[in-house]
Amino acid sequence: MAGNIFGNTFRLATFGESHGEAIGGVIDGCPPGIILNLEAIQNELNRRKPGQSSIVTQRKETDKVRFLSGIFEGKTTGTPIGFIIENENQHSEDYLHIKQAYRPSHADFVYDKKYGYRDYRGGGRSSARETACRVVAGAIAKQIIPQIRIIAYVSAVGNLSLDKPYNQLDFNNIEKNAVRCPDPQLAMQMEQYIKQIRKEGDTIGGIVTCVIQNVPIGLGEPVFDKLQADLAKAMLSINAVKGFEYGSGFEGTKLKGSQHNDNFNSDGSTQTNFSGGIQGGISNGMDIYFRVAFKPVATIMQPQKTIDTNGNIVTIQGKGRHDPCVVPRAVPIVEAMSAIVLADYHLRM
Amino acid sequence: MAGNIFGNTFRLATFGESHGEAIGGVIDGCPPGIILNLEAIQNELNRRKPGQSSIVTQRKETDKVRFLSGIFEGKTTGTPIGFIIENENQHSEDYLHIKQAYRPSHADFVYDKKYGYRDYRGGGRSSARETACRVVAGAIAKQIIPQIRIIAYVSAVGNLSLDKPYNQLDFNNIEKNAVRCPDPQLAMQMEQYIKQIRKEGDTIGGIVTCVIQNVPIGLGEPVFDKLQADLAKAMLSINAVKGFEYGSGFEGTKLKGSQHNDNFNSDGSTQTNFSGGIQGGISNGMDIYFRVAFKPVATIMQPQKTIDTNGNIVTIQGKGRHDPCVVPRAVPIVEAMSAIVLADYHLRM
Amino acid sequence: MAGNIFGNTFRLATFGESHGEAIGGVIDGCPPGIILNLEAIQNELNRRKPGQSSIVTQRKETDKVRFLSGIFEGKTTGTPIGFIIENENQHSEDYLHIKQAYRPSHADFVYDKKYGYRDYRGGGRSSARETACRVVAGAIAKQIIPQIRIIAYVSAVGNLSLDKPYNQLDFNNIEKNAVRCPDPQLAMQMEQYIKQIRKEGDTIGGIVTCVIQNVPIGLGEPVFDKLQADLAKAMLSINAVKGFEYGSGFEGTKLKGSQHNDNFNSDGSTQTNFSGGIQGGISNGMDIYFRVAFKPVATIMQPQKTIDTNGNIVTIQGKGRHDPCVVPRAVPIVEAMSAIVLADYHLRM
Amino acid sequence: MAGNIFGNTFRLATFGESHGEAIGGVIDGCPPGIILNLEAIQNELNRRKPGQSSIVTQRKETDKVRFLSGIFEGKTTGTPIGFIIENENQHSEDYLHIKQAYRPSHADFVYDKKYGYRDYRGGGRSSARETACRVVAGAIAKQIIPQIRIIAYVSAVGNLSLDKPYNQLDFNNIEKNAVRCPDPQLAMQMEQYIKQIRKEGDTIGGIVTCVIQNVPIGLGEPVFDKLQADLAKAMLSINAVKGFEYGSGFEGTKLKGSQHNDNFNSDGSTQTNFSGGIQGGISNGMDIYFRVAFKPVATIMQPQKTIDTNGNIVTIQGKGRHDPCVVPRAVPIVEAMSAIVLADYHLRM
């Protein structure tokens, strides 16, 4: 049983390799009658696409989505939405050097072992290129739940960390810089740091914080399908993600119950929100917030020792363009997966 | 669509409230011909059960599991395994005081809002009592994949933190103390700290670390059902869990790619294991390790201001027994959920 | 991936062998707030149970259902409903003679081949005893959709066939005779015929017709989950069922489109109903009706030549009680599975 | 929860309306390493496509399938296979006359009621055009289980019925005539009859018989996912299907157990095969055979009284081309759905 279908009521099936003809997907379960803003969908894709700024990979893809079904006279029909994004950047000769080699911390080795062989061009299916399909579906999901506000931003790049709580930040600043950090000064530092990393031919990790506001009470289906459980799954399914914490997170383990318990106001809201907007697996109407850890991208431009498919030690040298820091482009992906999870639960109610 | 069924090929459906007649479940997909060690299953339940030591809740439950089907002449038959655990501790009068009140940071409020009303006795379905069923299923799952070794332990209680990497620890020490921490000295400190917390009528959070060894290469189904994604979902579906990180985790975000990449040995193993045994969503044969954050239990013995179902501010006073620190009893639950995920993927191959 | 879970939004997981300790199940997805009529559930079980009349198997089972969860103060809570039915009739010595033999047209042979061995006592999991759990779930499903009327009856026993269309029958007669045929005269003939068959130690097949009225427009989810597709699956999943046809069925293949098309009335109802209440996989508000073919039960009291597990020809002799004609007891099972499918689609809307 | 995904381990998600840009799908779960015969896939599409002979609809579609992923250097990679078929025949003006009218026995009425409005061009999603995607997936499924032989043929057109059992027929004759009936003389009569029906502007129903040979023992997952249950669901999910029977079917209800029981040979095969190759929901290695009833197509060229969306009685006149008898083109669809079900169960073992 393969794993390329996500969700229960809003279901997304995706396909496509980084250097095949096209990537795409089928969305099954989008309600009928939604007047789709197609430009908003393309805008989300543009926020993810390579080459959008000087601090991300300079690979060129226009990433134009083409919808094939499920929309009629501007509205969703309740039937499945099929879509494709043609691959334009097919310099697969860039990858001949890794045809016989396993790049460190990539999926090359495990794909060969699991499937017997692999599409070696740019990582094939294991490339983060597939996340473009998630962004398309997420942009549609957002339009199913327009009342819910989903904002992600970069809160750390390497050791440069934004320590203010989210409610002391001005979210309007996020899209004003290439890093997508709402603190302008820190954003500038991050940008310079990423440029330096790029020059070194290296990469650096980071953290994306996501805040979800105006969430109705009642999303989540205990005991297994708790809202935080599916958010965690959604995030950990994104390439390069190593961790997830919501509400008080790992720091909350140091607190006592008498400190951590969120006291109620008489309207059912709470005075603190260590719970992160979810209690017992169900949204309680307060803001949901969580943090997602991204490791440094494995593709670097420095020479690396590794093994070939026969176990011989070889040296490989990164070619083409690399992405020095993935988190700026990860912001719309985190938002998209959040939207998919929330729309799914919204439709499950 | 409710959420009380977990897994794809090894599927667990559970039922039961903390103060109903019984809890139990159905396991669908256990392979035939496995000679089940029933004592090992009961032992896992005993590791989870209340009253097992002086630092956990003193509630008394024998937690005897009774198997009703799927086992014949000592072996699994390939048909579903039904089981129940009778509830003995039904002092539901202990809960009359919360019939009209919402306990802070419990699920009382959201259950009322979502379902219209609730079984208020001890949290009903939202009680961690349901995890006993997970432990039963996990103990069976372990016997499906006997070659894989799953070890969890307590690595932090409040600020008392075990900072040594797992491979410098002696796992034989874990069950030698009530805290389930493999460092005997730290275990003693944790135990004393928990006793003090209990005296205060308070609770404290902590962290459970889990290590999985001898994992075959190839478990995990990208792009959505990555192994780490389902481990994350499994962990975040456990009551009180606030975070999950595997391999280099949140700390790994501070590293450069040139530091973080795991160089291969000629046999395909790696010299470092920042990847945490998983690359591209698929196990690579190295140890899987992850950390799970547990918040302090919400039930405390101190008086708390809260609201009743009409929004009036009331004061509630904890009654009966409380669990000052949940992580010692969470250890077998983390192991159980890990085993369920791994057995599921093992059967999906 | 095993197959003991049915449904999508109203999900039923069942377990249990005919001669194990108990059978039972978990219903996940029953909405909260339903005041359950438990007596009505037991009544449905009584309609299915052995020994209810002189023309069905004389095996004795009280078939008392015990609910373990999901119901509080008389109402469903929205949490899973666990239930068990203890097995009382455990004369497993009756089955020692087939321990080494494969009964013709039973599942003995395929279970041994598929699972490696089997619980040979009375068919184990392959016994129709498991349908008792379906009846419990179906009786609950009926209470989720009380406005929908589901009536099944026996329309044929061997060559004795009720040829009147359902709307010329008085459904009040169905439960007035042991055969559950709404035509009193034919019912008498059927009863006498079944008694004769029983004396011969033989069995006979038959047909159950089901009519579903007051169905809301819109149930069914094309293109794969058409309402008739899931009704067909539900029926063919019942032991001994060999065929399903709805609306005009097999006879409709002989008609021309100009004869078969159902002309509309101005209110959207149709003048004829060859469509059987479903168009394009979606209920259209007209009566749904279908027929289900049951083969003669394989257990007969006559001596039969067969093979043992080594392939030697042996003679077996039926022992204990046999069921000369399964259709009278199949009536509540057909209704139950219909109710489960309809409730599931009702909750999917 | 919508219904455009089929299967469990070999999962097919389809999309597309008859007059949208394209139809297509995603196949998730195709094993890696299969050398795909793409010509064989196109051949199956050609067997289904309009205009292939004088007795089917004369609409013109080339129905060229384009694969976008999941295949590399001629072999499947184990990653999802995305494919599209562009729609060429977009004379949607042909359908303006039904924009405001509900065609009798079509899905127009229920789609409007369920989804609020509809893509009225040629039936939109409810058009049988979507079955082209099933044929693509089925042709791939056949290549996953090459040892299993799946043959369907036309066994009835209206009252012209082929009464010989399948094992007295020469399957080599099936593709030698436009009707796909293995009896050459009857095929000629059927052909003439269909031509006459076409001249009348009318349609006629028919029956497709399917035979599956060389099936391994063990396919099927009781108790709910019995092999016959999923075959029934697969067939009833095809447009215009009204009934399904396997093995002895409806006729078998007239037999006694002593006549119907299949006696074993010493090798486990049986002397008769009333069971139709399935016992207890599991394939027993004997031939599987079943019959599928198709109603006459609802689109006729004669004027018909019907209602418009306001409930006014109007007269509509069929335009364009119609399909006088659907069963010849249904043959590859029945085979495709059979292959999908069998491959799915094969991969579930």
Interatomic CA distance for residues A24 and A303, integer angstroms: 34
Report residue D255 as tokens: 């037999």
Across residues D157-174, what is the average pLDDT? 97
Would you say residue C263 has pLDDT above 90?
yes
What is the pTM (predicted TM-score) of this model? 0.98
Query: Sorting pLDDT into bands at 50, 70 and 90, what band is D168?
Result: very high
User: Number of residue pairs across C and D with CB atoms under 8 Å?
Assistant: 356
Nearest residue to A155 (alpha-carbon basis) of B258, B274, B250: B250
Q: What is the mean pLDDT of chain C?
A: 95
Inter-chain touch A82–D114, beta carbons under 8 Å: no
Would you say residue D92 has pLDDT above 90?
no
Query: Sorting pLDDT into bands at 50, 70 and 90, what band is C173?
Result: very high
pLDDT at A238: 98
Q: Give percent of chain C above pLDDT 90.
A: 88
Report residue A192 as tokens: 């310079």
pLDDT at B318: 82
Distance from CA of C340 to the nearest CA of B (A): 14
Inter-chain touch B226–A3, beta carbons under 8 Å: yes
pLDDT at A94: 67
Which C residues, 151 through 210, put their C-beta within 8 Å of a C-beta on chain D?
156, 158-159, 197, 200, 202-207
Would you say residue D320 has pLDDT above 80?
no
Distance from CA of B320 to the nearest CA of C (A): 22
pLDDT at D96: 74
pLDDT at D122: 79
Q: What is the DSSP letter of D249?
A: G
Handedness of CA D6, D9, D12, D13 (dihedral sign): positive
Q: What is the DSSP letter of A216?
A: P
Across residues D301-314, what is the average pLDDT? 94
Query: Sorting pLDDT into bands at 50, 70 and 90, what band is B83?
Result: very high
Across residues D23-27, what is the average pLDDT? 98
Task: Please tell me whether residue D348 adopts helix, strand or coil conformation.
Answer: helix
Inter-chain touch A250–B114, beta carbons under 8 Å: no
Query: Sorting pLDDT into bands at 50, 70 and 90, what band is B121?
Result: confident
Strands (E), D217-270: 241-246
Q: Quick check: D248 contacting C, CB < 8 Å?
A: yes
Taking each helix axis from N to C end, the angle separating A327-348 and A227-236, rounded to the nearest 10 degrees, works out to 140
pLDDT < 70 stretches in chain A = 89-94
Chains with 3+ CB–CB pairs under 8 A to B are A, C
Would you say residue D82 has pLDDT above 90?
yes
Encode pLDDT of C89-136 as tens digits.
Answer: 666 666 777 788 999 999 999 999 999 988 888 789 999 999 999 999
Which A residues, 282 through 321, put their C-beta within 8 Å of a C-beta on chain B?
282-284, 291, 293-300, 302, 304-307, 311-313
Burial class (CB in 10 A: 0-12, 13-18, 19+), B75: middle
Encode pLDDT of D264-276 as tens digits.
Answer: 999 999 999 999 9
Would you say residue C59 has pLDDT above 80?
no
Inter-chain touch B4–C72, beta carbons under 8 Å: no
pLDDT at C122: 78
Distance from CA of A73 to the nearest CA of B (A): 31
Interatomic CA distance for residues B341 and B335, integer angstroms: 10
Encode pLDDT of C287-314 as tens digits.
Answer: 999 999 999 999 999 999 999 999 999 9
Task: Please tell me whether residue C254 adopts helix, strand or coil conformation.
Answer: helix
- How far is residue B130 from each of residues B26, B123, B254, B267, measured CA to CA in Å? 13, 11, 38, 43
Report residue C168 as tokens: 């010329």
Q: What is the mean pLDDT of chain B?
A: 95
Inter-chain touch B68–C5, beta carbons under 8 Å: no
> What are the backbone dihedrals phi and psi of residue C165, each rounded to the nearest 5 degrees, phi first?
-65, 155
Burial class (CB in 10 A: 0-12, 13-18, 19+), A257: buried
- To test the contact with chain A by mutation, choose from D1, D5, D15, D90 the residue with the greatest count of A C-beta atoms within 10 A, namely D15
